[in-house]
Amino acid sequence: IEVLREKEFLAYFLVNWDITTYARSKGYFHVGRGSGANSLVAYLLRITDVDPIELDLYFERFINLYRSNPPDFDLDFSWTDRDDVTRYIFERYEHVALLGAYNTFQYRAVVRELSKVFGLPKHEVDVLASGRFDPAKLGEVERAVIRYSSVLRDFPNQISIHACGIVIADRPIHRTCATFLPPKGFPTTQYDMVVAEDLDLHKFDILSQRGLAKIKDALDLIAHTDPSAQIDIHDMKRFKADERVQQLLREADAIGCFYVESPAMRMLMRKL
Same-domain pairing of 134 and 49: no
Nearest Cα neighbor of 20 from 204, 186, 218 is: 204
The answer as to whether 219 is a domain residue is no
- For the stretch 2-59, pLDDT in tens is 888 888 889 999 999 999 999 999 999 998 887 888 889 999 999 998 889 988 888 8
pTM, two decimal places: 0.82
Q: Report the C-alpha gap between 216 and 229 in whole angstroms.
A: 14
The whole-angstrom distance between residue 14's C-alpha and the CA centroid of its chain comes to 19
- Which pLDDT belongs to residue 272? 82
Same-domain pairing of 87 and 197: yes
Facing residues of 100 across strands?
161
Q: Report the C-alpha gap between 210 and 35 in whole angstroms.
A: 22
- Residue 226: CB atoms within 10 A of its CB come to 10
The answer as to whether 205 is a domain residue is yes
- Which pLDDT belongs to residue 76? 93
pLDDT tops 80 at residue 70? no
pLDDT band at residue 183, thresholds of 50, 70 and 90? confident
Same-domain pairing of 41 and 168: yes
Q: Evaluate whether 42 touches 74 at the Cβ level (below 8 Å).
A: no
Same-domain pairing of 142 and 200: no
Residue 230 backbone dihedrals phi, psi, to 5 degrees = -120, 110
Who's near 122: CB < 8 A, 6+ residues apart? Answer: none
Look at the chain and report how many structural domains it folds into: 3
- Which pLDDT belongs to residue 205? 92
- Residue 38: CB atoms within 10 A of its CB come to 20
Q: Evaluate whether 118 touches 147 at the Cβ level (below 8 Å).
A: no
Domain that holds residue 23: 2-96+163-211
Q: Is 255 exposed, middle or buried (0-12, 13-18, 19+ CB in 10 A)?
A: exposed
Residue 41 backbone dihedrals phi, psi, to 5 degrees = -60, -45
Q: Evaluate whether 13 touches 48 at the Cβ level (below 8 Å).
A: no
HSE value, Cβ hemisphere, 13 Å, CA-based, for 185: 4
φ/ψ region of 154 (left if φ > 0, alpha if ψ in -120 to 50, else beta) reads left
Residue 248 identity (one-letter amino acid): L
pLDDT tops 80 at residue 67? no
Same-domain pairing of 70 and 184: yes
The answer as to whether 230 is a domain residue is no
Same-domain pairing of 111 and 16: no
- Which pLDDT belongs to residue 227? 84
Same-domain pairing of 141 and 261: no
pLDDT tops 90 at residue 259? no
- For the stretch 134-178, pLDDT in tens is 888 888 899 999 999 989 888 888 888 998 999 999 899 988 888
- For the stretch 97-130, pLDDT in tens is 999 998 888 899 999 999 998 999 998 889 899 8
